[in-house]
């Protein structure tokens, strides 16, 4: 990081294969320790599902980033993988149970999508906010 640059968002380069999801959960929980329990759990679920979905489609994820916004209280999860294949909600050539993770991501996030990376890879991202129905808002904590 050079002088004057903003600090990078929390990022985990995953070199282990398969990346231990337990470690990702521990890292995420540590990076977002000030989130309310509901919000953190939603972020953990989304992170796990994005990673699992990449594995199930043969696209080994190699990086995950968390971008935190406080106003509104929101966490953007970004997972990089090397496959050009686009994720499809609820459908997969690998079997009927595959792809369901993205249904969960779709339900838990306010927005999600993919961005192409240089080469053949892509970033799958999802934004999880607690400022929606059904969540305890982090800001409402005593």
Contact footprint for Zn ion (CB under 5 A): 39, 73, 130, 138
Q: Which of 54, 56, 58, 51 is nearest to 23 (CA)?
A: 51
Residue nearer to Zn ion on the CB measure, 19 or 77 = 77
The whole-angstrom separation of Cα 5 and Cα 24 is 26
Closest approach of Zn ion to the CB of residue 39, in Å: 4
Closest approach of Zn ion to the CB of residue 71, in Å: 11
Are 112 and 124 in contact by the 8 Å Cβ rule? The answer is yes
**In the structure encoding, which two tokens stand for residue 40, read together?**
């953190």
Closest approach of Zn ion to the CB of residue 41, in Å: 11
Are 81 and 61 in contact by the 8 Å Cβ rule? The answer is yes
Are 65 and 9 in contact by the 8 Å Cβ rule? The answer is yes
Residue nearer to Zn ion on the CB measure, 68 or 98 = 68
Are 71 and 139 in contact by the 8 Å Cβ rule? The answer is no
Residue nearer to Zn ion on the CB measure, 110 or 115 = 110
Residue nearer to Zn ion on the CB measure, 45 or 138 = 138
Closest approach of Zn ion to the CB of residue 33, in Å: 12
Residue nearer to Zn ion on the CB measure, 39 or 57 = 39
- State the distance between the two ends of the chain, measured CA to CA, in whole angstroms: 37
Closest approach of Zn ion to the CB of residue 9, in Å: 16
């Amino acid at each position: 990081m050079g002088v004057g640059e903003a600090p990078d968002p929390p990022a985990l380069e995953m070199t282990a294969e398969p990346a231990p999801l337990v470690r990702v959960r521990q890292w995420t929980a540590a990076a977002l320790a000030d989130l309310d329990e509901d919000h953190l759990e939603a972020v953990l679920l989304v992170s796990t599902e994005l990673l699992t979905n990449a594995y199930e489609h043969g696209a080994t994820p190699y990086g995950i980033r968390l971008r935190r916004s406080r106003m509104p209280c929101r966490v953007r999860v970004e997972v990089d993988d090397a496959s050009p294949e686009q994720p499809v909600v609820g459908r997969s050539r690998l079997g009927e149970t595959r792809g369901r993770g993205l249904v969960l991501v779709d339900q838990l996030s306010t927005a999600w999508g993919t961005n192409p990376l240089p080469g053949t890879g892509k970033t799958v991202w999802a934004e999880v906010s607690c400022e929606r129905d059904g969540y305890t808002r982090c800001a409402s904590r005593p």
